Amino acid sequence: MKTVSSEKAIWHLLESVSDPEIPVLSVIDLGIIRSVLFVRENNHDSSDHQLVITITPTYTGCPAMDMISKQISSKLEEAGYQNFEIKQTLKPAWTTDWMTETGKEKLRSYGIAAPVGKSFNNYDLSKLKIPCPQCGSENTSMISEFGSTSCKALFKCLNCKEPFDYFKCH
Amino acid sequence: MKIKAKNDSAFIQYLLHLGDNALIMSHRNSEWCGHGPALEQDIALTNIALDQIGQARNFYQYAAVLINESSNEKQTEDSLAYLRDAWDFKNCLLVELPNGDWGQTILKQFLISAYQYYLYLELQNIQDEQLAAIAAKSVKELNYHLRWSADWVMRLGDGTSESKKRMTDAIDAVWSYTYELFEVAEYENILSVEMQCKIREAWIEKIKTVFGKATLAIPNSQWKQRGGKLGVHTEHLGYILAEMQFLQRAYPGSEW
Ligand SMILES: [Zn+2]
């Protein structure tokens, strides 16, 4: 029987589920796993627990979310779990503040600048100093607040002349 | 605390109205995909389209749950988007207007983003938890849409004589459709009168500030176009639906 003590094992398992668009990041790094719980089922004869994983979308239109749910399901099935449910919640709204430090480090080495500072309203990207993930220079400027995916903005480095993606605060 | 309106048809109609605004706006924005004046701006508009379709999905999913709970219907987000006819759609006329040139596209985006931004700011505090959660999620995205479109209004208005002329023409073409945003339909009674005033005042203040920086003027004309909120649309909506709904009408239930 899977018990509450196995929740740790599930968190560990989820580390191997990656974001389909930024494969270096796991769903844990992204901060989209809100809870992992073994819930005792209500039917009479059973000491069985249902595994309930709650995830939250990064952006409302992010097509990666459905993909991520499917990947979590197949990871769980591979590991022998059958009785589980993956729920989505909108509240509280996802923020880049939930991204792990390891995640930010992985982003940088992948060539994407990590979110700088904390998420708050009226964040004006063009006024931020975003270090270039290639050369580290802070002599960079914003090209566009929108990029190749919902979560990224486009920047260019004025030092090494390379364009780069910035994972924007949200 | 559950609000009384939760299962009544006014609340469901209100959710559909919010979803329809987002969906039709999204469709208009998606028409720029591959046609933007520069790659970055093409990407910006398609990103905004994606956010809008995500917001529409949230409103439709919630509406479908409430409809199914209170009737024998089996609605889904897809049936609400693809199988309703023009007279069932409750979007404001402003979102269904053709894109026109880049100036008109930008102007529409700015007027609508400002409206959605201040509306969602209020909605995130209402008693219905799910609607408040959708609004709180969406307002973070709107923040980006509003800043981007406001920047472009200033850039074009305070730009060359040509870009200024395009913006002035755009204002003349669409201003009469802005009044409908604030003409409260019966199903909007979930918003208190104070909230409605607050949204309208914040909106007009924002428009004045940005138009001021863009050296553009708000027209004096009080001519008002209305009807969309009640299902009375321009001919443009029919063409949008014909294109958007074709696949599900011709091949019901198809997936890919
Ligand atoms: Zn560099």
Smallest Cα–Cα separation from A165: which of A103, A108, A95, A104? A108
Q: Give chain B's domain count.
A: 1
What band does A5 get if pLDDT is binned at 50, 70 and 90?
A: low
CATH code (residue B185) = 1.20.1260.10
pLDDT digits (tens, 9 = 90+) for B179-189: 999 999 999 99
Range of the domain at B30: 9-217+225-250
pLDDT digits (tens, 9 = 90+) for B150-204: 999 999 999 999 999 999 999 999 999 999 999 999 999 999 999 999 999 999 9
CA–CA–CA angle A143, B141, A31 (5° rounding): 95
Average pLDDT over residues A38-52: 78
A121–B43: do the CB atoms touch at under 8 Å?
A: no
Q: Chain A residue closest to B121 (CA)? A: A121
Q: For strand A140-144 and strand A112-113, is the pairing parallel, antiparallel, or unpaired?
A: unpaired
Q: What integer pLDDT is reported at residue A125 of this predicted model?
A: 75
What are the Cα distances from residue B1, in Å, to B14, B38, B185, B231? 19, 49, 25, 32
Task: State the complex-level ipTM.
Answer: 0.87
Average pLDDT over residues A118-136: 79
Shortest CB distance from A60 goes to which of B40, B54, B143?
A: B54
Q: Which CATH class is domain A7-94?
A: alpha beta
The pLDDT mean for chain A works out to 89
The reply to whether B193 falls in a domain is yes
Residue A56 contacts residue A32 (beta carbons within 8 Å): yes
The domain segmentation of chain A, as residue ranges, is 7-94, 98-167
Q: Does A148 touch chain B (CB under 8 A)?
A: yes
**Residue ranges with CB less than 5 Å from ion ligand 1:** A 132, 134-135, 137, 157, 159-160
B130–A60: do the CB atoms touch at under 8 Å?
A: no
Q: What integer pLDDT is reported at residue A46 of this predicted model?
A: 60
Distance A18 CA to ligand 1 centre (A): 27
Cβ atoms within 10 A of the Cβ of B52, count? 30
What band does B31 get if pLDDT is binned at 50, 70 and 90?
A: very high
B143–A90: do the CB atoms touch at under 8 Å?
A: no
Shortest CB distance from B144 goes to which of A90, A143, A145?
A: A145
Contacts of B144 in chain A (CB under 8 A): 145-146
A90–B129: do the CB atoms touch at under 8 Å?
A: no
To the nearest whole angstrom, how far is the Cα of B137 from the nearest Cα of chain A? 5
What are the Cα distances from residue B215, in Å, to B19, B174, B208, B209? 33, 18, 10, 10
- Reading the block at residue B206, the tokens are 């924002």
The reply to whether B120 falls in a domain is yes
Chain position carrying tokens 């197949």: A74
Q: Does A145 touch chain B (CB under 8 A)?
A: yes
Distance between CA atoms of residues B153 and B157, nearest Å: 6
Distance A130 CA to ligand 1 centre (A): 10
Q: What integer pLDDT is reported at residue A48 of this predicted model?
A: 77
State yes or no: pLDDT of B4 exceeds 50: no
DSSP 8-state assignment for residue A94? P
The reply to whether B1 falls in a domain is no
| More confident call, B3 vs B122 | B122
Residue B147 contacts residue B113 (beta carbons within 8 Å): no
* Percentage of residues in chain B having pLDDT higher than 90: 91
Distance A139 CA to ligand 1 centre (A): 8
A148–B140: do the CB atoms touch at under 8 Å?
A: no
To the nearest whole angstrom, how far is the Cα of A119 from the nearest Cα of chain B? 10
Q: Does A120 touch chain B (CB under 8 A)?
A: no
Shortest CB distance from A60 goes to which of B43, B44, B58?
A: B58
